Amino acid sequence: DSGVTQTPKHLITATGQRVTLRCSPRSGDLSVYWYQQSLDQGLQFLIQYYNGEERAKGNILERFSAQQFPDLHSELNLSSLELGDSALYFCASSLNRVSNEQYFGPGTRLTVT
Amino acid sequence: AQSVTQLGSHVSVSEGALVLLRCNYSSSVPPYLFWYVQYPNQGLQLLLKYTTGATLVKGINGFEAEFKKSETSFHLTKPSAHMSDAAEYFCAVSFSGNTPLVFGKGTRLSVIA
């Protein structure tokens, strides 16, 4: 158990819909990262938050957004969903700015039908 | 830009045999290097990391990896494979702390009895 929690574990929704994925980092970790894992693209970085502020952006679509709240949990919002958005979405957290160890949650499997 | 290449999308070894998973990276600055393991339907678990110091790093479950700057490599080894080692292994790189990881495409390890 990494200490990072993600809900829900599975999500099935239809095209055009909007969903919210939730992540609670390890206690004390200030950084939260979101990654997408798909068969064709592999593991891709989406966005990073550090202590409530957006820190870095990766290959995140404009239809996707995220935020980190004062209690440091984070939410990833996916809207106008397309079939190609079906993937595993992982959240990771880290504290150590020197070694950059990131600890991953169990993921949310999103299926868009 | 940083990139990670994992040679071989699938490696198969006999139980008790040497495990060797290859990882090469490109980075314009000294990298931080990581190996993660993903078991079916689970998140990523950190196996080991290299940041600075000793180039041979030991991780969990008997795995180790050696950072070779001249070869830009960080290959993962284990002297004797167990059935429980069957999983997907990912090599990752970052160029500093508190930054996103760039992942290779992964290598699926199968262990044959």
Interface of A with B (CB under 8 A): 2, 4, 31, 33, 35, 42-45, 48, 50, 55-56, 58, 90, 92, 94, 96-107
**pLDDT tens string B51-91:** 888 889 999 999 999 999 889 999 999 999 999 999 999 99
Cβ-nearest to B97 among A45, A100, A103: A100
State phi, psi for B60 to the nearest 5 degrees.
-85, 165
Between the CA atoms of B106, A32, A88 and A59, what dihedral angle is there, to the nearest 10 degrees? -80
Name the average pLDDT for chain B.
Answer: 93
Predicted pLDDT of residue B97: 75
Give the model's confidence band at A96: pLDDT under 50 very low, under 70 low, under 90 confident, else very high: low
For A30-63, the pLDDT digits (tens) are 999 999 999 888 999 999 999 999 999 998 999 9
Sign of CA dihedral B9, B83, A36, B75: negative
User: What pLDDT, on the 0 to 100 scale, is given for residue A19?
Assistant: 98
* A to B CB pairs, distance under 8 Å: 63
Ramachandran sector of residue B8 (left: φ over 0; alpha: ψ -120 to 50; beta: rest): left
Return the pLDDT at B102.
92
DSSP state of B43: -
